[in-house]
């Protein structure tokens, strides 16, 4: 039983890593106009997110077929916890990616998990060849697309209150 739970936890964590990589790759493909080129160009002109829920759907809907296929395969292999970990990882990553995207458009100083909110910088400096990450800058650093820009938050950490993390457009 412990091995099964550990396998599920590993699948969950692996899904988060794969999700961040897919997010990076798809964003690069958008900038090359291979995937949703016009829609993404319009997003850069508007400089706003769609709201958390629409962002979540944009991330999660393409993940559903992958989760279904992996769940079926894991079911037949008897790896139930692994399938559950992957499904939960896809759901959680989609929600987090939607939040990371929306918060960096509205309140980039709240993206505390990164030294600099790379998606905000990507938009603020009209970067078409740099800083493609949304939830993380790790893939930009690995693939040489990270570009350092000096950034100062509008609010200091002393000015941020817990409720600020919920003051984004949700719908």
Give the model confidence (pLDDT) of 135-145 as tens digits: 999 999 999 99
Of residues 46 and 53, the one with the higher pLDDT is 53
- The pLDDT score that the predictor gives to residue 15 is 97
**What pLDDT, on a 0 to 100 scale, did the predictor assign at position 67?**
94
Is pLDDT of 18 > 90? yes
Residue 36 has pLDDT above 90, yes or no: no
- Condensed to tens digits (0 to 9), the pLDDT of residues 72-114 reads 999 999 999 999 999 999 999 999 999 999 999 999 999 999 9
Query: What pLDDT does residue 23 have?
Result: 97
- Position 60 confidence tier, pLDDT thresholds 50, 70, 90: very high
What is the DSSP secondary-structure string of 87-149? HHHHHHHHHHHHHHHHHHHH-GGG-TTSSS-HHHHHHHTT-SSS---SS-SHHHHHHT-----
Distances (CA, A) of 128 to 37, 51, 134, 139, 147: 12, 23, 14, 16, 11
Q: Given this model, what pLDDT does residue 14 score?
A: 97
Per-residue pLDDT, averaged over 165-170, amounts to: 97
Length of the chain (residues): 171
Q: Has residue 63 got a pLDDT over 90?
A: yes
């Amino acid at each position: 039983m412990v091995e099964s739970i550990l396998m599920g936890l590993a699948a969950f964590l692996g899904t988060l890593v794969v999700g961040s990589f897919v997010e990076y790759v798809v964003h690069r493909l958008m900038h090359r106009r291979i995937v949703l080129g016009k829609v993404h160009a319009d997003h850069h002109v508007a400089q706003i997110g769609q709201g958390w829920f629409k962002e979540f759907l944009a991330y999660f809907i393409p993940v559903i077929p992958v989760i279904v296929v992996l769940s079926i395969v894991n079911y037949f292999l008897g790896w139930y916890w692994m399938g559950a970990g992957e499904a939960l990882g896809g759901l959680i990553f989609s929600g987090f990616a939607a939040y990371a995207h929306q918060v960096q458009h509205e309140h980039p100083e709240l993206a505390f998990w990164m030294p600099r909110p790379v998606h905000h910088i990507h938009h603020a400096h009209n970067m078409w060849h740099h800083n493609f990450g949304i939830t993380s800058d790790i893939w930009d650093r690995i693939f040489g697309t990270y570009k350092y820009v000096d950034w100062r938050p509008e609010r200091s950490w002393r000015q941020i209150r817990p409720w600020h993390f919920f003051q984004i457009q949700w719908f």
